[in-house]
Amino acid sequence: MTKKPGGGAQGPRERKSSGRGQRDLRVRVKSAKGRRLSSTLWLERQLNDPYVARARRDGYRGRAAYKILELDDKYKFLVPGARVVDLGCAPGGWCQVAVPRINSLGERADRKQGRIIGIDLQEVDPIAGAEIHQLDFLEEGADEQVKAWLGGEADVVMSDMAASSSGHKGTDHIRIVALVEAAAQLAFDVLAPGGTFVAKVLAGGAEQGLQAMLKQNFTKVANVKPPASRSDSSEKFVVATGFRGRQDDAPDAD
């Protein structure tokens, strides 16, 4: 790592423009026998990503933690006392961010104590202040199970899930939109009135139905690309606030 003049440590810097006395500080990775080019490029990107280095310093399990941190800084949904459900929580970075913000450890006696339930298909290492469960949220009765674990309705349902990549951009886009729609349906079943739904989607042309569904069930829907989201990525995040209560059965919902 390099250091700012007179300052603390900072992450790897982007390549500077060429000039006298300037050096290329970008880490480059040589291809190794048996390693795919895509793996080499991924490793090089990780080594040069300032958010990866920052996550290591701050003790987060991944750079994705800064995405929910930046979204919450803007929309203020992780408040002390909030009851939160994190769908597809592995490796746990979003839970790590939520714990102190909702005061789930009760470390601030002057603030309400919140609760967070993390759910994933795979086992996730324990996180102090978060309750982690292994569950397929698509299973029948998952909504009731979540509310039982939470002890009531949720104030926030958030998801950083992404469907497994097929290598085909159009197919992957449809898959992730379908996954977000399923997460939204669970949110409709477990959110308290006024609640918030936050989820990752991919920019494209298949999410109009998702947007319409969210606008019907929430008072405000915003689409955001936080600074921590890589500029070359098509991901964005939808932040739906002010849950109205499930509106699927409304006369004009056909």
Helix (H, G, I), strand (E, B) or coil at 31: coil
Q: How many CB atoms lie within 10 A of CB 96?
A: 24
Give the C-alpha separation, 86 to 187, whole Å.
11
* CA–CA distance, 80 with 110 (Å, rounded to integer): 10
| Angstrom distances, CA of residue 229 to CA of 163, 232, 235 | 17, 9, 7
Binding residues: 92, 94, 120, 136, 160
Q: Are 229 and 241 in contact (CB under 8 A)?
A: no
Active site residue 200: yes
Among residues 4, 16, 33, 200, the one annotated as catalytic is 200
Q: For the beta carbon of residue 51, count every other beta carbon within 10 angstroms.
A: 20
Where is the binding site for S-adenosyl-L-methionine, in residues? 92, 94, 120, 136, 160
Q: Report which of 16, 24, 23, 14 is spatially closest to residue 48, judged by C-alpha positions.
A: 14
CA dist., res. 181 & res. 159, Å (int): 11
Catalytic residues: 200
